[in-house]
Chain A
Amino acid sequence: MSIIDKTAAVPAPRGGDHTGPLLEVRDLHVEFHTRDGVAKAVNGVNYSVNAGETLAVLGESGSGKSVTAQAIMGILDMPPGKIPQGEILFRGEDMLKMSEEERRKIRGRKIAMIFQDALSSLNPVLTVGYQLGEMFRVHHGMSKKDAKVKAIELMDKVKIPAAKARVSDYPHQFSGGMRQRIMIAMALALEPDLIIADEPTTALDVTVQAQVMDLLAELQQEYNMGLILITHDLGVVADVADKIAVMYAGRIVEQAPVHELYKRPAHPYTRGLLDSIPRLDQKGQELYAIKGLPPNLLKVPTGCAFNPRCPKADDLCRTEIPALVPVTEQNGADLPGRKSACHFWKETIHG
Chain B
Amino acid sequence: MGRYVIRRLLQMIPVFFGATLLIFLMVNVMGDPIAGLCGDRQCDPATAAQLEKEFGLDKPLWQQYLTYMGNVFTGDFGTAFNGQPVTELMASAFPVTIRLTIVAIFFEILIGISLGVVTGLKRGRPVDTTVLLLTLVVLSVPTFVTGLLIQLLLGVKWGWIKPAVSPEAPFSELIVPGLVLASVSLAYVTRLTRTSIAENKRADYVRTAVAKGLPRRRVISRHLLRNSLIPVVTFIGADIGALMGGAIVTERIFNIHGVGYQLYQGIVRQNTQTVVGFVTILVLIFLLANLLVDLLYAVLDPRIRYA
A residues contacting B by CB (< 8 A) are 73, 75, 77, 104-109, 112-113, 115, 117, 120-127, 134-135, 138-139, 170, 172-173, 186
Contact = CB atoms under 8 A, between A and B. Distances in A.
Interface stretch (B13-21, B211-219, B240-248): B211-219
Contacts of A125: 226-227, 300-303
Interface string B219-238: 00011001100000000000
Given A124-B227, A124-B303, A170-B303, A109 B207 contact: no
29 contacts: A75-B210, A106-B213, A107-B210, A107-B211, A108-B214, A112-B212, A113-B211, A115-B204, A115-B207, A123-B208, A123-B227, A124-B303, A125-B226, A125-B300, A125-B301, A125-B303, A126-B222, A126-B226, A127-B302, A134-B212, A134-B222, A135-B212, A138-B213, A138-B214, A170-B302, A170-B306, A173-B306, A186-B208, A186-B212
A117 B207 CA distance: 12
B203 interface: yes
A121 B209 CA distance: 9
B206 to A, nearest CB: 8
B122 to A, nearest CB: 12
A104 B227 CA distance: 23
B15 to A, nearest CB: 28
Interface class of chain B by DSSP: helix
Question: Which range holds the interface residue count of chain B?
Answer: 20 to 34
Given A123-B227, A139-B213, A115 B302 contact: no
Interface class of chain A by DSSP: mixed
Contacts of B212: 107-108, 112, 134-135, 138, 186
In the complex, which of the residues B211, B223, B300, B301 has the most CB atoms of chain A within 10 Å of its own CB atom?
B211
Nearest to B303: A172
Given A170-B303, A173-B306, A121 B213 contact: no
B204 A124 contact: no
B205 interface: yes
B202 to A, nearest CB: 8
B215 A121 contact: no
B204 A138 contact: no
Contacts of B218: 138
Contacts of B227: 123-125
A107 B219 CA distance: 13
A135 B208 CA distance: 12
B226 A121 contact: no
Contacts of B204: 115, 117, 120-121
Contacts of A172: 302-303
In the complex, which of the residues B205, B303, B306 has the most CB atoms of chain A within 10 Å of its own CB atom?
B205
In the complex, which of the residues B203, B210, B226 has the most CB atoms of chain A within 10 Å of its own CB atom?
B210
Contacts of B215: 104, 138
Given A126-B222, A173-B306, A121 B214 contact: no
A124 B205 contact: yes
Nearest to B218: A138
In the complex, which of the residues B218, B223, B302 has the most CB atoms of chain A within 10 Å of its own CB atom?
B302
A172 B304 CA distance: 11
A26 to B, nearest CB: 22
In the complex, which of the residues B213, B215, B223 has the most CB atoms of chain A within 10 Å of its own CB atom?
B213
Contacts of B226: 123, 125-126
A112 B302 contact: no
Given A77-B202, A123-B226, A135-B212, 15 more contacts: A73-B211, A105-B213, A107-B212, A108-B211, A109-B213, A112-B212, A113-B211, A115-B207, A120-B203, A123-B209, A125-B227, A127-B302, A138-B218, A172-B303, A173-B306
Q: Which 8 A-B pairs have the closest CB atoms?
A: A108-B213, A107-B213, A120-B204, A123-B205, A108-B212, A121-B204, A170-B302, A113-B211
A126 B223 CA distance: 8
Interface in B288-303: 300-303
